[in-house]
Structure 1
Amino acid sequence: MRDATARRLSRLHAAVYRLTGGRIGRRLVRNDMLVLTTTGSRTGRPHTVPLLYLRDGDALVVIASWGGRPQHPQWYTNLVANPRATVQVDSRRWTVRARTATPDERAVWWPRVLATYKGYRLYESNTDRVIPVVFLEPER
């Protein structure tokens, strides 16, 4: 899928999810979806993207795969520059602080990630970069 088309579909998915409180767009490929809003690292403007997620206690776990492209997705670059973000799960929204999994944490989580969505195996084979596992922890 071309990048421009993927961006349009992502924006549409996020908008429908937010407008319906997650009633539409909550699940994709049998996995739960959240909507993540980051602050642009260059523009300072909000950027919103729907993502598959897993849970780790109070934290949400997302994967910066970008379909196996050679560079990290912009949302991940934004979180590295400013780890404070907002998530929406269904109709609930809250502020989180993002952190990239340590190598040891990633080693534990990566098999879980692959079991959740098989596409991540293909994405991993399409890129030379290590695909980051990101924890979105509630801001306290």
Structure 2
Amino acid sequence: MRLTTIGRRTGQERAVMLGYFEDGPNLVTMAMNGWGDAEPAWWLNLQAHPDAMVDLVDGPRQVTGRAAQGEERERLWSRWQQTNKHLDAYASRRSMETAVVILEPKRQS
């Protein structure tokens, strides 16, 4: 998917391509930067401005991003492990926990 966020410093649109899976109406990705310690810019932007846009094969969607917590994170991490048996080894290269990011459909006001 193509995720477009608003830059936390510039206010400009910033786009990045990310792997994801669907979890009900939500899209789930991981905030990793090549498994290095630095958080990816798109995740820092999303934390500052949670509303974003994703482009998928079936068209664009407005979403709101957040980090999964607790049991929800564990469940979603397990789903990622099904696609990559080395996920825990890669994640152990980081000194901090890798955020599992949920992109929920934006609620219309």
* TM-based fold match above 0.5: yes
Q: Percent identity?
A: 38
For structure 2, list consecutive stretches of 5 or more residues without a partner in the other structure: none
Aligned equivalents of 1:118, 1:85: Cα separation in 2: 30
Q: Per residue, is there more helix in 1 or in 2?
A: 1
Which structure ranks higher in relative contact order (CA pairs < 8 Å, sequence separation ≥ 6)? 2
- State whether residues 68 and 122 of structure 1, in contact with CA within 8 Å, keep that contact through their aligned partners in structure 2: no
- Specify the alignment match of 1:83 in structure 2: 50
Q: TM-score, normalised by structure 1?
A: 0.71
Match of 2:88 among 111, 116, 121: 121
Aligned counterpart, 2:7: 40
* Equivalent-residue separation in structure 1 for 2:37 and 2:52 (angstroms): 24
Aligned-partner residue type, residue 64 of structure 1: A
Report the AA paired with residue 66 of structure 1.
N
Q: Normalized per residue, which structure has more strand?
A: 2
Q: How does 1:47-86 map to 2 (within 5 A)?
A: 47-86=14-53
* Unmatched runs of 5 consecutive residues or more in structure 1: 1-33
SS at match of 2:60: strand
Cα distance, 1:90 vs structure 2? 1.3
- Number of equivalent positions: 107
